[in-house]
Amino acid sequence: MSRIEDSPQVSTSTLDENVLASIRQANTDFLQRCGLEYTGLLRLDEALYSEYYQEAINRGIPMEGRYSFSPYIAAGVAITTNAFEHLPDREVRMWICLLITITIGIDDNLGGGLDMVQLYHFNKRFISHQPQGDPAMKAFDAFLREASRHYSPLVSNLITTSILDFISTKTPLFADYCRLLSGFPTSVVFMIFPPMLPVQEYIQSMPDLVSIMNLTNDILSYYKEELEGDPTTYVARLAASRGLTKLDVLHEVIDKTAQAHHNILESLKAHPDAYHAYVSFFHGYIQYYFAPRYKLHEIMTMSDRTSKE
């Protein structure tokens, strides 16, 4: 992936300077404990973006109008080209990218354009092979059914059920359902490993892998979510329920995530293919959060800019 230099402007954040410094240090500590560092603002490879965008059109994904997934394909491309570039099969990478694009769009309710009534009936129609009610659901249905083309029956079933659980969290009856389901982590975790790799080589790491998917997001999106004043994040809810500050909880989450990472490395070291797939994924997954969407460039180089002034 190509990069752009960090903006020379200072952060526009309204957060207290001490809070900013604490968040920056927390991010730095997390990366260091995982053997990584902040490497600068990430941008998309425009050629790959165009290729994936055209493939979405060719595959019938709505890219214009009310049901357009166009605003979400950049995120799908970013995570795929960073976290899944170790997968040798281009078709699998393309499928992962477009499925994630659709899922991100649905998670965002297509910016308000999603028909929630049609979403509510998605699982029933999917299971009974009935036609979906709008172009967005039709595209999602078609891509989800392709899991069995790329993965073994066991893995494709687990990917499918994880995503159906995610859909359940988007319906009115399950608005406050468990966050474990809301991030569809299980489906993505299974995509880390090449389809031909025996599931027995990595299945024992699933609990820690799911934690890595969820908690890394909680850590590296914390700054962005604080700027937005989001009171519904995992960190915010846990802090409120335990009477702690959010920064105290953030440090606990970092401890838990770093431990999960090292647990996975230890568990997979006897299986080199699974080990290297995870390491490649994890490094790329971290890089994904260096994209402009997560605003880390506003604080991670702040001390460097200050020292130059």
Same domain, 304 and 219: yes
Same domain, 85 and 174: yes
What is the SS3 string spanning the chain?
Answer: CCECCCCCCCCCCCCCHHHHHHHHHHHHHHHHHCCCCCCCCECCCHHHHHHHHHHHHHCCCCCCCCCCCHHHHHHHHHHHHHHCCCCCCHHHHHHHHHHHHHHHHHHCHHHHCCCHHHHHCHHHHHHCCCCCCCHHHHHHHHHHHCHHHHCCHHHHHHHHHHHHHHHHHCCHHHCCCCHHHHCCHHHHHHHCCCCCCCHHHCHHHHHHHHHHHHHHHHHHCHHHHHHHCCCCCHHHHHHHHHCCCHHHHHHHHHHHHHHHHHHHHHHHCCCHHHHHHHHHHHHHHHHHCCCHHHCCHHHHCHHHHHHHC
pLDDT score recorded for residue 170:
65
pLDDT score recorded for residue 308:
44
| Last residue within a domain, chosen from 145, 176, 195 | 195
| Last residue within a domain, chosen from 195, 212, 242 | 195
pLDDT in tens, 145-170: 999 999 999 999 999 998 988 887 66
User: Does residue 31 register a pLDDT over 90?
Assistant: yes
pLDDT score recorded for residue 171:
57
* pTM for the full predicted model: 0.87
User: Does residue 259 register a pLDDT over 70?
Assistant: yes
Which CATH number fits the domain that encloses residue 107? 1.10.600.10
| Last residue within a domain, chosen from 146, 177, 195 | 195
User: Looking at the 3D structure of the chain, how many domains does it have?
Assistant: 2
Q: Is residue 32 part of a domain?
A: yes
Same domain, 55 and 174: yes
Same domain, 189 and 50: yes
